[in-house]
Structure 1
Amino acid sequence: MELAVETAFTPWASLAGGVLIGLSAVMVMGLFGRIAGISGITAGFLGAIAPMTRAPRDRDWRIAFLLGLIAAPPLVMLLGGTVTQSVPRNLLRMVMAGLLVGVGTALGSGCTSGHGVCGLARLSRRSLVAVLTFMAAGVATVFVLRHVVGAV
């Protein structure tokens, strides 16, 4: 059985992206004393704009962080770079995947950026377990989709 999956080899772009992710994590920790986990930042932002109990009052930096995530691809394109992205055509699958990710981040008390980037850097055992769980679930999902279901 032959499996052909093309992945672009982009060491410089990958290095630059990793440096920027690390820099943003350090800045969020240094400036605001918070972990740069996207799910936590988003939940805190939504809690600050919606009437909720224990809503954080630090909405401004959360807005800036999220706007930076949204603005980065257009900025790369304005500077002459290319951004490629594929979006599934099946809207129901995309909604289900988003809901599963949301449930997973709630159950795992964080997301891949919070646990994988920030938690591992702080040598958190809980984050190590979370990252190993993310990776195992990802490997199992890809195996089942490619070799059992044949969907990908």
Structure 2
Amino acid sequence: MRDKLTKSDVKKIQEEIEHRKLVVRKEAIEAVKEARAHGDLSENFEYHAAKKDKNRNESRIRYLERMLKTAEIVDDTSKEDEVGINNTVELYMEDDDETETYRLVTSVRGSSVNGLISIDSPLGKAILGHKENDRVYIKVNADYGYYVVIRKILNTQEDENDHIRSY
């Protein structure tokens, strides 16, 4: 499955790749050199830890570059009165008789713990494009679903602290 990214997501990924190549890579190589200088490599914990950090950084760079190559670029603009990417929505959960607030984001930013719901999640797919006061059925699986009412749609600016999720 191709990741869906906005132009802003692409920019953040490119910035992370550049930082990892120019800063983190240089620091990791220096750490490996310094640890290697401590002698016997077979029992040198610092050397093995430094190599592991260096390899983790290189792996992350490859992962992000692959993500950019295969991504589908999606538009994050939406009509004023419709739920779209980067909108914050207030949802009334009928089954729980509770109101919850979420922001709809691309799949690489999704973090339900932080109130960020992916457009590829059952909830995100269901509410995308709907309007305030719409009652929407969220199909979780073949046997279960629930209803929500969209109470409020807020256009929110992207948060600088939004990070591309690590795997």
Task: State whether TM-score is above 0.5.
Answer: no
- The structure with the greater share of residues assigned to strand is 2
User: What is the TM-score normalised by the length of structure 1?
Assistant: 0.25
The structure whose Rg is larger is 2
- The structure with the greater share of residues assigned to helix is 1
